[in-house]
Amino acid sequence: MKVLLCEDVESLGWYGDIVTVKDGYARNYLLPQGLAVIPSESKIKAMAEEKARRTEQRRLVREQLEKAAAAVEGAVVEIVAKTNELGHLFGSVTEHDIAEKLRAQGFEVKDAMVRLSGGHIKELGTYD
């Protein structure tokens, strides 16, 4: 059965794609959950327009994020925290703590924009 995806479905396809799936999967999962609809000319056209709008919106957001990342590149944040004699922090330094310090320096940064690759910082040191 061919269906038109109304959402991104992992391992199946993206919003607006027409995919072929087994009838039971479509009837019992995709259609009732609102993840897909039976394709028609009008639905395909509407989805194509919406997909173009979403793509443009994602492009604009990506540009803004790239500009913010370029502005923050090279910024230094110093966070003071209590430690034990071995250099282990009491608590940890989180993305929120770093974003807060960047905002204090005048950068427009949301907590979600800060990523710590190794998890929260729990020891003294210099980090990138």
* pTM (predicted TM-score): 0.57
pLDDT in tens, 107-123: 888 888 888 888 899 99
- List the chain domain ranges: 2-71, 74-123
CATH architecture for segment(s) 2-71? 3-Layer(aba) Sandwich (3.40)
pLDDT digits (tens, 9 = 90+) for 3-36: 999 999 998 998 999 999 999 999 999 999 999 9
Among residues 61, 9, 81, the alpha carbon closest in space to that of 21 is found at 9
Task: Round the average pLDDT of the chain to a whole number and report it.
Answer: 91
Q: Are 39 and 18 in contact (CB under 8 A)?
A: yes
CA dist., res. 119 & res. 93, Å (int): 9
